[in-house]
C-alpha cells in the first residue's frame, strides 16, 4: 500500500519541480505571481478537502499549518531565485541531497527515529552520488 503512495509522490514531485524550473526559465520576473497562483490553488484544494471531510480545525493544527505554509512560501521564493541563477541539473540534485539530510536529522531529533548503520551508509552514498551527478 505504501509503495503506491511513494510512486505517486515521486511522479507528482517531478512534475512540480519541472513546472518550477519552467516558471524560472520562461518568466523570471514573474516568479512571485507563479508562487501566488501555486499557493492559492493549494489553499483551494485544502478548502475542498476540508469541506468534504467536515472536520473542525484545532488551534494547534492551524498554528502548525501556518508555520508550514510560511516555510513553504519562503522556501519557494528562495528556490525559484536559485533556479533562475543555477541550471536545473545542479539545483535539483543539491536540493534533494539537502532534503534527505534535513529530513533524516529532524526525524532523529523530533521523533527519535534512529537510522540503522545500513541506512546511514545508504544516505551517505546517495548524497555522494547526487553531488557527483550534479558536478
Number of structural domains the chain divides into? 2
Higher pLDDT, 134 or 90: 90
Note whether 65 and 98 are same-domain residues: no
pLDDT score at 35: 78
Q: Which residue, of 48, 68, 85, is where some domain finishes?
A: 85
Q: Please state the φ and ψ torsions of residue 120, each to the nearest 5 degrees.
A: -65, -45
Note whether 81 and 16 are same-domain residues: yes
pTM value is: 0.68
Higher pLDDT, 22 or 128: 128
Note whether 71 and 94 are same-domain residues: no
**DSSP of the chain:** -HHHHHHHHHHHHHHHHHHHHHHHHH-GGGHHHHHHHHHHHHHHHHHHHHHHHTPPPPHHHHHHHHHHHHHHHHHHHHHHHHHHHS-HHHHHHHHHHHHHHHHHHHHHHHS-PPPPHHHHHHHHHHHHHHHHHH-
Note whether 19 and 70 are same-domain residues: yes
pLDDT score at 133: 80
Note whether 121 and 96 are same-domain residues: yes
Whole-number Å distance between alpha carbons of 135 and 125:
15
Note whether 17 and 71 are same-domain residues: yes
Note whether 65 and 99 are same-domain residues: no
Note whether 66 and 106 are same-domain residues: no
Domain containing 41 equals 12-85
Note whether 53 and 80 are same-domain residues: yes
Q: Do 57 and 50 contact (CB within 8 A), yes or no?
A: yes
Higher pLDDT, 53 or 135: 53
Amino acid at each position: 500500500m505504501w509503495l503506491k503512495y511513494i510512486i505517486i509522490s515521486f511522479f507528482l514531485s517531478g512534475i512540480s519541480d519541472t513546472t518550477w524550473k519552467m516558471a524560472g526559465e520562461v518568466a523570471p520576473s514573474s516568479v512571485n505571481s507563479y508562487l501566488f497562483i501555486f499557493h492559492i490553488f493549494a489553499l483551494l484544494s485544502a478548502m475542498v478537502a476540508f469541506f468534504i471531510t467536515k472536520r473542525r480545525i484545532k488551534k494547534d493544527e492551524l498554528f502548525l499549518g501556518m508555520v508550514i505554509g510560511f516555510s513553504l512560501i519562503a522556501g519557494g521564493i528562495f528556490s525559484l531565485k536559485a533556479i533562475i541563477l543555477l541550471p536545473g541539473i545542479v539545483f535539483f540534485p543539491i536540493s534533494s541531497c539537502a532534503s534527505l539530510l534535513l529530513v533524516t536529522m529532524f526525524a532523529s531529533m523530533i521523533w527519535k527515529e534512529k537510522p540503522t548503520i545500513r541506512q546511514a551508509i545508504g544516505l551517505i552514498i546517495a548524497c555522494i552520488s547526487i553531488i557527483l551527478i550534479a558536478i
